[in-house]
Amino acid sequence: MLLKSKIAYLGVLLGLNQLFIILSSIIETNTIILFAGAALLVGVVIVEFGGKSGLLFYAASCLLGFFLSFNKFEFITYVAFFGLYSYIKHLLEIKVKNKNTLFLTKIIFFNFALIIMYLVIRLFITIKLTWWMILAGQILFIVYDYAFSIFINYYITTIKPKISR
């Protein structure tokens, strides 16, 4: 491994994760993309060190991100969906073998996370959701899940062998 220590590698990944989270507060137009980037790093930790380490990494990123993020409302989307989805995706893809069931379970998780985010944010600000927003969210989730899988496969086949030397 390029970084000889597991702790050093996790520290670098957590630093990058927090950079994405902080930039999401500064660059308002790319919040979702930056949160997705931060979540991909949780996926990298899961690939490198397993699910338990990934879950601890997610918890550390949430705790640190809460203090470093400027916009707490937007940070809720990372906590409730993006960061957590990396771990949930890992669990589901290990346990659920049927592709249709896997897809349906992922959609259910996304909608559950969406409801949680909506209810929490609605406590503080008024948001009106329309049917087309929800439909667009479903489509974007499917694209995100596919892109996430492509990135993780690319990491496993191309990046990981280069840094494992």
pLDDT tens over the chain, length 165 residues: 555 688 888 999 999 999 999 999 898 888 899 999 999 999 999 999 999 999 999 999 999 999 999 888 889 889 999 999 999 999 999 999 999 999 999 999 999 999 998 888 888 888 888 889 999 999 999 999 999 999 999 999 999 888 875
- Cα–Cα distance for residue pair 126/110, rounded to 1 Å: 21
Q: What are phi and psi of 98, to 5 degrees?
A: -75, 125
In contact, 1 and 163? CB cutoff 8 Å = yes
Mapped to the 3 state alphabet, what secondary structure does the chain carry? CCCCCHHHHHHHHHHHHHHHHHHHHHCHHHHHHHHHHHHHHHHHHHHHHCHHHHHHHHHHHHHHHHHHCCCHHHHHHHHHHHHHHHHHHHHHHHHCCCHHHHHHHHHHHHHHHHHHHHHHHHCCCCCCCCHHHHHHHHHHHHHHHHHHHHHHHHHHHHHHHHHCC
pLDDT value of residue 124:
83
pLDDT of residue 126: 85
